[in-house]
Chains A and B, each alone.
Chain A
């Protein structure tokens, strides 16, 4: 791989448990506010109601959206798209004049909701179409494309927890290749009983607020949210009379080829992804101001991630923001990329929530304990996923 041309980020939108906008979320992060609680989105046995980072406010701007009865993942995505459009200073009419692609990472947005089938099997035929219909009404890529009349390429990335990062990396490649003028890219995921119960069944779900990189970490907490990036060509930005807010400088991805749910012990897959991102970004480690780590709070992830960071990016400050948002699965890569841009602009990164007791096994790489000043024009956001997917984005400040 060779260095590639940076791709402009025209606008960003973000919604998660920390805040309903990117600005609100960042304020919560810098104030070290976090709001874990038992799930209300689905019934959970109170005796086993482990914390989630759920968005409890009514957030969906029905009056601004044409789409009707879409699922929560789509509502999250659409809400973030509207914020990103406002941030970019563009409107629906602008999209209609451009080749607009949509590339969204998700997990839950693509599941077949067979629950409806089971509940209604043999009872009411008119409900039997529900499993099929869910594909149609809940796929966030198609919903966004329909809402904004996007007729460019569409792709729904389902690379588990790295899907949001991958979607942004893929979208940047589309812009570079001239496939489209604008791409609406990012990730979205809602809380879902299957993933909630599944992570608990794997014994990697913390029954208290998660503690990424801490010696007493017990696992992750799930969250929900969405982040959307509007990527555009330089020509489009000029026409819109706006300047880039930030840039996608580099992207790398690789696979562990090791285990469906465990991180490769030598971290080779993650290392390859970081190296590809640095190469395509034309950057050296010293130019990375900070790292937004995946930092789930699971034992293996944090151990291997910290060792890789120490080896490839020694001394570069890092933090995990999952202590503020929970693990938002397919949205996490995009949400954390949004945080990365905001931190570059702000010149500081938030405390790694939940981290207080250093784990000797992780040393010498520990996350920052408090808000930490950083300087530089580029930062790295990395995600590790089930299936051994590793995706790394390097983002750069705008003018």
Chain B
């Protein structure tokens, strides 16, 4: 029995749904937008890959969304799209677990709460408070899908996705559930935009910000990516998850050294590029697609989706153009190439020496 990817639901700067992501992959670009910000320093525009949730109206009555903010809407839409893609939207008796990962959490909402407290507000909006709880996205997913199975919310910053996949696989292997809706969501917020603005203006470069491991010019992204995983013997076009791991980079190197040839997620900063290369087997080829979805802690989720789409298309998509590499021994996928039987590993190096892998295979 394999842990199969039965459905994928994605939304981000590239659009909404698998077809939009495939189009962006074929095009090699997303429609970058800007977000206007006003601060005490003045007004400026921040480039960002933001997500739209209009399609949620196809699945949920708008009255049910009255108290739901953008962060939760993204998670909901990702969930519905994944179930629709899996053909399980109207399936009864799914006995499904729900796992939601986030790196930033409900940041816009939290900032509004903090602003209210900074202004000495004696109370805060109950709706805002309940939506600020870290499991708020998973809560609304369970309520709207009427799923009473186990629910898990994880917040491991840039390791949140492998953390979530690890538990999803465990639940399926332990037969706690028949399927797992697992994914991640991260939201653009003003703090991130302002942070990026300060990084890139000539006289205001940020110092001492080890949290920023994104490429120097990566655009901030937001979005959601969800998967329906099931334990099956037969094949699905997206393939299956061979393993998921996160922890110290030493063990990840051992795990990654399996039969994978393609490594997705090589978008790390130059500071850890050598370490990334050091995790790879000699014949490895790397690809990065950050230009399509933007920089965010749950970015690995999109790489997993792209790996699954590569299985379906039987080809590996071309990496971002113009990726500069210090390390000569990182072989970048310059143009799309046939996948064959090669395995794909999504590899993320995180802060503090952590690393995570999710390896995918084909039938």
| Given contacts A1-B176, A129-B211, A257 and B147 within 8 Å (CB-CB) | yes
- CB neighbors of A among B148-191 (8 A): 148-157, 159, 163, 166-167, 170, 173-176, 191
Contact of B133 among A136, A160, A174, A256 (CB under 8 A): A160
CA distance A128 to B205 in the complex (A): 10
CA distance A145 to B147 in the complex (A): 34
Q: Is the CB of A194 within 8 A of B132?
A: yes
Contact of A154 among B41, B129, B156 (CB under 8 A): B156
Q: What residues of A have a CB within 8 angstroms of the CB of B191 in the complex?
A: 112, 114, 117, 131
Q: Is the CB of B352 within 8 A of A198?
A: no
Q: What residues of A have a CB within 8 angstroms of the CB of B113 in the complex?
A: 194, 198
- CB neighbors of A among B38-92 (8 A): 39-41
Q: What residues of A have a CB within 8 angstroms of the CB of B236 in the complex?
A: none
Q: What residues of A have a CB within 8 angstroms of the CB of B151 in the complex?
A: 159, 253-255, 387-389
Whether A340 is near chain B, meaning CB under 8 Å from some CB there, is: no
Interface centre among A123, A149, A253 (most CB of B within 10 A): A253
CA distance A149 to B163 in the complex (A): 18
Whether A69 is near chain B, meaning CB under 8 Å from some CB there, is: no
Q: Is the CB of A110 within 8 A of B155?
A: yes
What per-residue 1/0 map shows which CB atoms of A132-166 lie under 8 Å from chain B? Answer: 11011001011001100111111111111000001
CA distance A397 to B194 in the complex (A): 54
Contact of A389 among B40, B135, B212 (CB under 8 A): B135
Interface centre among B114, B170, B352 (most CB of A within 10 A): B114
The segment from A241-249, A258-266, A283-291, A303-311 that touches chain B is: A258-266
Q: Is the CB of B117 within 8 A of A115?
A: yes
Whether A57 is near chain B, meaning CB under 8 Å from some CB there, is: no
**A-B contacts, CB under 8 A, total:** 241
The segment from B12-20, B246-254, B337-345 that touches chain A is: B246-254
A394 to chain B, nearest CB (A): 16
Whether B1 is near chain A, meaning CB under 8 Å from some CB there, is: no
Q: What residues of A have a CB within 8 angstroms of the CB of B110 in the complex?
A: 111-112, 114, 194
Q: Is the CB of A257 within 8 A of B142?
A: yes
Q: What residues of B have a CB within 8 angstroms of the CB of A99 in the complex?
A: 251
17 A-B residue contacts at CB 8 Å?
A126-B206, A129-B209, A129-B210, A129-B212, A132-B209, A132-B211, A132-B212, A149-B248, A154-B156, A155-B154, A157-B152, A255-B149, A257-B142, A257-B143, A387-B138, A388-B151, A389-B135
4 shortest A-B CB distances, which residue pairs? Answer: A151-B248, A132-B211, A387-B139, A158-B134
* Residues in chain A within 8 A of chain B (CB atoms): 1, 45, 48, 99, 101, 107, 110-112, 114-115, 117-119, 121-123, 125-126, 128-129, 131-133, 135-136, 139, 141-142, 145-146, 149-160, 166, 170, 173-174, 177, 179, 193-194, 197-198, 200-202, 253-261, 268-269, 272, 385-389
